Structure 1
Amino acid sequence: MNLPRIAVDAMGGDEGVRVMISGAALARRQHDRFKFLLVGDQARIERALDAHPNMREASEILHCEDVVGGDEKPTQALRRAKSTSMGLAINAVKRGDAGAAVSAGNTGALMAMSKLALRTMPGIDRPALAALMPTLGENDVVVLDLGANTECDARNLVQFAIMGAAYARIVTGRDLPRVRLLNIGTEETKGTDQLQLAAQNLRQATGLSLRFEGYVEADKINRGDVDVVVTDGFSGNIALKAIEGAARFVTDLLKDAFRSSTRSKIGFLISRPATELLRHHLDPNNHNGAVFLGLNGVIVKSHGSANAAGVANAVAVAARLLEEDLTDRIAAGLGHLGEDRLRERGGKA
């Protein structure tokens, strides 16, 4: 299958062109079907390509020197959408010059530009930021929203559940992904009115390609017992940062422990295979590539500090979502939702 090319915002991220091009090159070595539209300063991109000859025949460069700043407000970035590398990468998807776009730049600006250029799919009120998190089970867990929408009503949460389930069917292979709402307890009486209303709507909906299993608490997200965790962007972002912080805490604690004495150092050598496995499992680069679900196009957000392997993973996520027709899967799920009945119950917060 010939995939549409992927637009890469080569100027985004903490290290910009070098890492973005290295990551795209690594992705192409792993999947030689990938083709790219590299958006950014042509001279810098050309220099980076000198180290990756495998990219030459697979890439076209769209010159652009303007960059969205990491601390730039989305409203400011929107005014320069037609002149920045991020904006041009997104517009390439809108025009059909690329099938997907990958950027490691400012998340708020990326969401604002993507929503303005691509618009939300019919039946979706707001796009959501979804990402994969590691678990103790066989598959990663899809968590959304991770910060695109700080306040959500029941209708939004149900739509997120459908979008997250469509994504989970691609990455887990499950026909009926297990979906739960993030809550402060698992009892039916826990949570806000909108959260309880979303649960009620999901329990009563028929024909959805998911299995709604009620609520999940934050400490159970990574146990492997759920495929999709749905929440508002405020709570989701806090949960994400807490999990990432806990992972760094554990790895730093192990490092300090193994350096504490000669006996500990010997113990490290003995246990090194296990600690390396742990490090690999917790490395965010191995799970890099958050997706804006609900747009008329595929936009993938790479972590700003991602290394080449992380960028390659984000590119692979974009390619897989194109290959598996994510937007068509979401549209099919919405077709079974019964929008009129949901609107009647859900309303707006």
Structure 2
Amino acid sequence: MPLPSQPLRKLGFLTIGLFDETDPRAGHESTLEVIELGEQLGFDSAWVRHRHLQHGISSPVAVLAAASQRTRRIALGTAVIPMGWENPLRLAEDLATVDILSGGRLNPGLSAGPPTHWEDVKHALYPDTADAEDFGYRRVRRLLDAVRGEPVTTFRGTEGFEVYSDRVQPHSPGLAGRLWYGGGSLRSARWAGENGLNFLTSNVVKAEEPAGFADIQLSLVREFRAHHPDGDRARVSQGLVVIPTDSATPAQRAKYTEYAAKRTPRTAAPQGPRRLLFAPDLVGTSAEIAGRLHADPAFREVDEVAFALPFTFEHDDYVQILTDIATKLGPELGRQPA
């Protein structure tokens, strides 16, 4: 077996925040309780996915604003906000406001590209400008500039009793250093590095070369750092689906095994026209999972993770999984409790 990687420095988790359409509050409350539990267990970060027109978190900034008032230490992230749905200037205001409220704990993750099912939603989302919208990196860049304090208007000054700024208010000076880009291609990894962001790499990559998942992910990490001003010190977080079974009941172990088995076929070869390749879910004892991670060449190059929670499990399952990650798997990976 390869030598273990450097000790894990930051331990995080990611949740989708599913809810029942007939009772959405219960699901949102469960998500907030999971984040609170994460802080109690000593996790360094909690991340929420972004799901438009689905039964998952559609407004992660609002959810994390609530979480910021129920926690005191844990970092709060989005993985990721698809910028095609957003006005960069307005989003910059929201992110800065929540960062101020959280005491500087917000870690916004972003991505480029058109909204999912664009042809079906464009007339509702951009009824007058659909054909003119730019969904490439320039849209993300507009947000970066706004968060970094670049002017967004040509007017500043006083009109009567009203004082106007030429940059987004409130301005949160540390927020720009906590912006992340979620990418699965070499091009996106390169762009994130060139623009000085942090980099989120998940359990899905674009198969641009004939290699296995771990080797492709490793190439993304190295491409990002090769183009980042901080080089090998540039921050990368890996997000695989990890399900430890140390304290699971027999019924939970059976459920977890069945869940992973149903998802395994998609890991055998690239999927669809975009050639997306998925990583296998890691199910087993913490010692077994740690062994598999130490054999992963991409994991050996990072010291931050945001392990993804499965989409469809129950609240009690998440409690068990997070508890085992914090108390069993984290120490196996050399991570010291926060």
Give the TM-score, by structure 2 length.
0.29
TM-score by length of 1: 0.28
